[in-house]
Amino acid sequence: MTPSDPLSLAEHPIPTLSDPDWAAIANLPIVEEGGRLHPTSLGRAGMATWPIYHALGVPGAVAECFVREPVYRGLLAASNMLPEGVGLVVLDGWRPMAVQRALFERLHTLMAERFPEYSNDRLYQKTRAFVAPPSDDPAAPSPHLTGGAVDVALCDECGLILDMGSAFDEVCSASYTDHFETHLDAEDAMLYRARRRVLFHAMASAGFVNLPSEWWHYSLGDQLWAWRTGARAAQFGPTSPYTIEQRWAASLV
């Protein structure tokens, strides 16, 4: 059982999770429950938003973090479980297809340059451990295209993001969520372990599942979530923010 007492979150180890079976995940049906995307910047105290890809200048990245309503409510619930003086920061939610493609292709290129001895299959697998392949297939979309995947971190009472032992999107073994459960030789390893435990158990208590290769990535309602929880179907397929054109079209009756 996931702990719900904020004072005990850091006392419980992060379980070792199996790597996702992406073929099985892609074959899970999606029963779209609808619902628009909501900006996480609406969140009350205890939850902040910092659209990191937009801040880093990634072309096409939006200046907001959009998520489905159950995800939004889950984030608020997780933030309420955090110890006093610790807050939740949303770094990314819904992602445009162009951004998903750019991130995957750029990392794949860098991997190929860094590891020329890798086979094409190994390069692909190493890349997808940190960036999902771009897909807007209604039956098997990239998680961030659904509004059901979110990237989060912890911050202190001043809003400064806490050091989690590796940076967001850092492609290294230390980014695996349970890394510091077994690797305690690094300086401040116990601190990083405690912070990751707090984040993991708060998010899990709110209904999210984690991508084990990324301490920051959590899902609720997408195919990864359905596979990890044993749900018969995912709740969210590919979507996009509601536009003014859609509002006008709906009102012109």
Summarised one tens digit per residue, pLDDT across range 62-76 is 999 999 999 999 999
Q: Give the containing element (helix H, strand E) for 92.
A: strand 87-92
> 213 pLDDT exceeds 70?
yes
**What's the rounded Cα separation, in Å, for the pair 98 and 58?**
10
Catalytic residue among 33, 64, 84, 214: 214
Pairing type for strands 87-92 and 149-155 reads: antiparallel
The alpha carbon of residue 240 and the mean position of all alpha carbons in its chain are separated, in whole angstroms, by 17
Q: How many domains does the chain have?
A: 1
> 186 pLDDT exceeds 90?
no
Q: Does residue 214 have an active-site annotation? A: yes
Percentage with pLDDT > 70 across the chain: 97
Q: For the whole model, what pTM was predicted?
A: 0.94
Average pLDDT score over residue span 215-237: 98
- % helix / strand / coil in the chain, to the nearest 5? 40, 10, 50
| 108 annotated as a binding-site residue | no
- Minimal CA–CA distance to 231: which of 15, 48, 19, 30? 30
Contact 9, 202 (CB under 8 A): yes
pLDDT of residue 35: 87
> 8 pLDDT exceeds 90?
no
Kindly state whether residue 163 falls inside one of the protein's structural domains.
yes
Kindly state whether residue 10 falls inside one of the protein's structural domains.
yes
| 179 annotated as a binding-site residue | no
Contact 236, 68 (CB under 8 A): yes
Kindly state whether residue 138 falls inside one of the protein's structural domains.
yes
- AA letter at 20: P
Which is more confident, 1 or 149?
149
What does the mean pLDDT of the chain come to? 94
Average pLDDT score over residue span 145-168: 96
> 34 pLDDT exceeds 80?
no
pLDDT of residue 6: 55
Average pLDDT score over residue span 22-51: 92
Confidence tier at 244 by pLDDT (50, 70, 90): confident
Which is more confident, 184 or 44?
184
pLDDT of residue 171: 94
Kindly state whether residue 116 falls inside one of the protein's structural domains.
yes
Confidence tier at 246 by pLDDT (50, 70, 90): confident
**What's the rounded Cα separation, in Å, for the pair 152 and 150?**
6
**What's the rounded Cα separation, in Å, for the pair 215 and 218?**
8
Give the domain extent around 196.
6-251
| 144 annotated as a binding-site residue | yes
pLDDT of residue 1: 44
Kindly state whether residue 91 falls inside one of the protein's structural domains.
yes
pLDDT of residue 89: 97
**What's the rounded Cα separation, in Å, for the pair 135 and 89?**
26
Spell out the residues 6+ positions from residue 126 whose beta carbon is closer than 8 angstroms to its own: 111, 115, 118
Average pLDDT score over residue span 218-223: 98
Kindly state whether residue 1 falls inside one of the protein's structural domains.
no
Which CATH number is 87's domain given? 3.30.1380.10
